[in-house]
C-alpha cells in the first residue's frame, strides 16, 4: 500500500474480487514486458488469451499521459479501463468509468458514469411533420449498475468501448467514448444512418424548393447533375444533338446552358429559330412532363432513356445518341 490511499487500495481489491467472481484471473501490480507499463489490476481469461488492465486513477493526470499509458498497454495487446471516483477532464477520451462507494444499504460499488444505452423515442418536440421528418429521435442515456455487474459484462464482451464519429452527450457531459452493449451500438449506428439520409434528403428538398425561385441555387443543381457526365461525353453528346437536329429540321440549333429555369429538370435546353426545341440529359427525378410538352429529350445511353420513359407520357420522344 506504499504511496496509495486507502480508497485506492480498497478499489483495487474490489476490482480483483469482481474479476475473480466473473471467472477470470486477477493479479495486482503487474508489470509489462520491459517495464513499459504497470497495471493496478490485470485480468486474464481462463485460457490467458484475453488480458485487460484495470487502472485506478484517483490522482491528477494529464490527457497526454493517460493516452500514452493506454497506447503502451494496447501495443502489448492489453485492453484497459480507467476507474476513478469522480469525473475528470480525460473521461471519454480513453475507456473509462466513474464509480462511487457502496451506499449503506448495498455492499457493491456503483458505476455512475461511462456506461450508456441507446433508445429511440417518438418526437414530441416538433408540431409540424416537416420539422422532424423521422418523427422520432435517438438518445444516448447514462446507465448505472453495480461494479461487479459491469466487470462481468466487460469481461464477457456484453459491453464494449464505443467510439462514435461524433461526441455522445449525456447528463454528465460530452463523451467521445462510452461503454455500451454491441446491440445498442448497432441500433445507434442504424438509426444514425437513417437520420443522416433523412437530413440529406430534406436538405436536397429544401435546395430544390429554393431553386424554383432563385436562379443561383438552380445553377448549383444543374452543374452538379451535368458534371455527372464526363467532359468528353458531354462534348460528344452536344455534337450528336447538333447533327441530329440539323438532319431533322435542316436548321442550326443553339444551346442555352445559361438558362437555369426549373422546367428544364437540370438539362440543357436546345433552341431552333430561337424557340425551345429539346432538352439534353435532364434529371429523371426532377422532370415535370407538363413543362416539357412537345420537347425532344436527348440522352447519352439507353439506360438514361429507359429511366425517363418509365414516367414519360405516351408519345414523348426520347432519343439515345451515343453508343
| 24 and 108 together in one domain | yes
Whichever domain contains 126, its CATH number is 3.40.1350.10
Q: Is residue 222 pLDDT above 90, yes or no? A: no
Whether 84 is in a domain gets the answer: yes
Residue 210 lies in a domain: no
82 and 129 belong to one structural domain: yes
Same-domain pairing of 96 and 160: yes
Quote the domain boundaries for residue 75: 6-202
- Residues 44, 113 within the same domain: yes
Residue 192 in grid coordinates:
444514425
Q: If we measure between CA atoms, which residue out of 22, 148, 38, 142 comes closest to residue 91? A: 142
Mean pLDDT of the chain, nearest integer: 87
Total structural domains within the chain: 2
pLDDT in tens, 39-96: 999 999 999 899 999 999 999 999 999 999 999 999 999 999 999 999 998 998 999 9
Eight-state DSSP code of residue 33 = G
Same domain, 69 and 136: yes
User: What digits encode the pLDDT tens for the residues 310-319?
Assistant: 888 888 899 9
Claim to verify: residue 17 and residue 126 sit in the same structural domain: yes
Check residue 201 and give its pLDDT: 76
pLDDT band of residue 149 (cuts 50, 70, 90) is very high
Instruction: Give the model confidence (pLDDT) of 244-297 as tens digits.
Output: 999 999 999 999 877 766 678 888 889 999 888 999 999 888 888 888 878 899
Q: What residues contact 300, with CB distance under 8 A and at least 6 apart? A: 229, 233, 236, 237, 281, 320, 321, 322
The CA dihedral of 39, 44, 49, 52, to the nearest 10 degrees, is -40
On the CB side of 179, CA atoms within 13 Å amount to: 29
pLDDT band at 183 (very low <50, low <70, confident <90, very high): very high
pLDDT number for residue 3:
57
Percent of the chain with pLDDT over 70: 89
148 with 228, same domain: the answer is: no
CA torsion, ordered 50, 189, 64, 151, to nearest 10 deg: -40
Comparing CA positions, the residue from 103, 135, 61, 162 lying closest to residue 170 is: 162
Backbone angles phi, psi at 139, to 5 degrees: -140, 130
Amino acid at each position: 500500500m506504499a504511496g496509495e490511499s486507502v480508497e485506492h487500495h480498497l478499489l483495487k481489491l474490489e476490482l480483483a474480487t469482481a474479476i475473480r467472481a466473473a471467472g477470470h484471473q486477477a493479479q495486482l501490480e503487474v508489470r509489462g514486458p520491459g517495464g513499459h507499463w504497470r497495471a493496478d489490476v490485470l485480468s486474464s481469461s481462463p485460457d490467458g488469451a484475453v488480458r485487460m488492465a484495470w487502472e485506478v486513477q484517483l490522482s491528477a493526470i494529464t490527457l497526454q499521459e493517460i493516452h500514452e499509458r493506454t497506447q503502451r498497454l494496447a501495443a502489448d495487446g492489453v485492453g484497459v479501463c480507467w476507474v476513478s471516483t469522480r469525473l475528470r477532464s480525460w473521461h471519454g477520451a480513453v475507456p473509462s468509468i466513474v464509480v462511487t462507494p457502496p451506499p449503506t444499504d448495498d455492499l457493491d460499488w456503483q458505476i455512475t458514469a461511462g456506461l450508456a444505452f441507446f433508445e429511440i423515442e417518438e418526437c414530441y418536440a416538433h408540431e409540424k411533420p416537416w420539422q422532424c421528418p423521422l418523427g422520432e429521435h435517438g438518445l444516448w442515456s447514462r446507465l448505472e449498475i453495480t461494479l461487479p455487474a459491469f466487470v462481468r459484462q466487460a469481461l464477457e464482451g456484453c459491453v464494449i468501448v464505443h467510439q462514435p464519429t461524433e461526441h455522445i452527450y449525456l447528463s454528465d457531459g460530452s463523451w467521445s467514448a462510452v461503454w455500451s452493449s454491441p446491440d445498442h451500438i448497432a441500433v445507434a449506428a442504424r438509426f444514425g444512418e437513417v437520420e443522416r439520409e433523412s437530413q440529406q434528403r430534406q436538405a436536397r428538398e429544401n435546395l430544390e424548393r429554393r431553386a424554383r425561385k432563385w436562379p443561383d441555387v438552380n445553377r448549383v443543381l444543374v452543374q452538379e447533375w451535368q458534371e455527372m457526365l464526363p467532359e468528353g461525353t458531354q462534348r460528344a453528346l452536344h455534337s450528336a444533338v447538333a447533327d441530329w437536329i440539323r438532319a431533322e429540321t435542316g436548321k442550326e440549333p443553339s444551346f442555352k446552358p445559361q438558362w437555369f429555369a426549373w422546367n428544364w429538370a437540370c438539362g440543357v435546353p436546345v433552341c431552333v429559330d430561337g424557340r425551345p426545341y429539346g432538352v439534353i440529359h435532364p434529371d429523371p427525378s426532377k422532370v415535370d412532363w407538363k413543362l416539357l410538352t412537345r420537347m425532344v429529350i436527348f440522352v447519352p445511353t439507353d439506360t438514361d432513356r429507359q429511366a425517363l420513359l418509365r414516367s414519360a407520357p405516351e408519345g414523348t420522344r426520347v432519343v439515345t445518341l451515343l453508343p
